[in-house]
Structure 1
Amino acid sequence: MSIASPAQAWPEEVIARYLTVAGATVDITAPVASGRYQRAVAACTGCTTTRDYEWATYRWGQDSRTWVEFRDATTARLDAEKDARGWAQEHAEHCRALPMPPAPAPVPVPAPVPDPGEDCRCVWRGGICVETCPGHTTDAWMSRLLARLNGRAGR
């Protein structure tokens, strides 16, 4: 498990980060978006709970056919971020979910060395024929080899 430390760089879009009691983080992002609705997102890396805090700077006009600006975008954004920070702080104080550990690296499986038969004089390295003997250049030989490698009888 990796626990976030203050020295670790935050992802670029994160504007605030809270450490939970179990070592996970609650990150707040406010993606830059165009349009009438925007949002701040608080997401826990332990229990994966998220909360969206949308803000709008426009609303339907009285005629219900047009959009009218009703508040300053900066004020609306700061209000949404404040609400997201409040939830993140409260959640971080109580969340005991551990952050998910990184996936282990896959263990490489060595290639099997095929057994082409007693009469083979090929040079094999790591399961690959690097020097073919003269009798193994025909399609018939290759068919026999593939049949043998696949567990079928053949010769």
Structure 2
Amino acid sequence: MSALKCILSEKGKELLVLDGYKCRFHKELTGGIKRWVCSVSGNKKCTAYLKTEGKTNIIEVVDNHNYPPLDEKILNRNEVSNSLKRKASEDLSERPLKFIHRELRKGDGETLTNCDVTCIRNNIYHSRRSFLPKLPTTQREVHNVLNFYPVMKIGAKLFFL
């Protein structure tokens, strides 16, 4: 059995990775024991689960997955992509390529390909778009947006605040 690794999902939730399988938190049992189920249990009917005390002490593993384990490259790409999306959403002024270069310099991207880097950059742009307001597409929407913002007059010029 390989080491238990804790990563963040695309939605920011905790996942445990054990032997190439991702498990999501299911519920807390009596005595502070946490039950984690396979993250693909919904659509493939995988019934595998594990129980832990905290996040590192494994108590029980029911390892009856009905699909092959994920490749280490895929797990690494998901981990890098999710961490960069989180960092880029916290700092909207930094260019996405700077985040990617910083992550690659740390050495977390040995298994990433050019296609992976392009996908990660697109993921960062997509996650940032959720924080920015939608651009108006019609003249009516432009006028509605302009009426929404307060206007201050200095001399003969109008300024939007």
The structure, 1 or 2, with the larger RCO (C-alpha pairs under 8 Å, 6+ apart) is: 1
Considering fraction of residues, name the structure with more helix: 2
Structure (1 or 2) with the larger CA radius of gyration? 1
TM range (shorter): under 0.3
Q: What TM-score does the superposition give when structure 1 sets the normalisation length?
A: 0.27
